[in-house]
Amino acid sequence: MTKPVGKFVNFSQDHELNDWLTRNGYRTTEANRSVLRNIATKIKAYYGKSPADNLTWVELDEYYAKRGISGLEKK
C-alpha cells in the first residue's frame, strides 16, 4: 500500500523542507534544512514514534507551535 501524497514529511526532499521553511518565515538554506533533518528523531520521540516511523506535516506544525525549533535562521 502506498503512502498518501502530502501527508508525510519527506526529509530527503529539499523542496518539501523549503516549503515548510518559507511558510514559517525562515531562509531556505542547507543549514536550516539540516536543522529540520536533525530534529526529526526528537519530534518523532515526542509523539511516541520510533525513528523509522513517518512524521506527518500536522505533527511537525504542532510540535513547532508548541515547542519551537531552535537553530533556524529567519529571513
Q: Is residue 6 part of a domain?
A: no
What Rg do the C-alpha atoms of the chain give, in angstroms? 12
pLDDT of residue 6: 73
Looking at the domain assignment, is residue 20 inside a domain? yes
Residue 3 lies in a domain: no
pLDDT tens column, 59-69: 999 999 999 99
In a domain, 74, yes or no: no
Residue 2 has pLDDT above 60, yes or no: no
Can you give the residue range of the structural domain that contains 22? 14-67
User: Are 32 and 13 in contact, with CB atoms under 8 Å apart?
Assistant: no
In the 8-state DSSP scheme, what is residue 53? S
The answer as to whether 8 is a domain residue is: no
Count of structural domains, the chain: 1
Q: What is the pLDDT of residue 3?
A: 57
What is the structure's pLDDT at 52? 94
Q: Does residue 23 form part of some domain? A: yes
Tens digits of per-residue pLDDT, 27-64?
999 999 999 999 999 999 999 999 999 999 999 999 99
Residue 45 placed within a domain:
yes
